[in-house]
Structure 1
């Protein structure tokens, strides 16, 4: 199984992870008890997502933003083609 959408879809969906990170780092939200649950859930999901990524595909991205620095290892033909044409990044097609 791999990502089936386009490059714009993929990168757009990563903005959700950016928003989650902003919430996790927010001083205003840090005082809420629910944040501990959110951090735990995000850590579990992140662990599963990280193994799906080819790390450092985009080395100019910040190291701490590992989800934008890597790219899925497997994808449908559209994303594979767009990554190769636009970014010169090659991943396996499913």
Structure 2
């Protein structure tokens, strides 16, 4: 697995989950029960636009990993978007 520096690591949900943590949980398939596929299918979904930051945050809210307020936190949403972009840029 390729490692890369997190973007906007300071943006955290009130549960303490960062945007970086969230994108990697999803990549590892830990939001599969909420409809977010893992690994290569996850990256392909980001590339095609089928998976967005909002989709990922909503899935994590449904899984009880994030608070509903996370979706309204523009800084957190932007950080998730940046981490998704970096994941695709690095061929994760």
Query: TM-score, normalised to structure 2's length?
Result: 0.29
TM-score by length of 1: 0.29
The structure with more strand, counted as a fraction of residues: 1
- Asked which structure has the greater CA Rg, the reply is 1
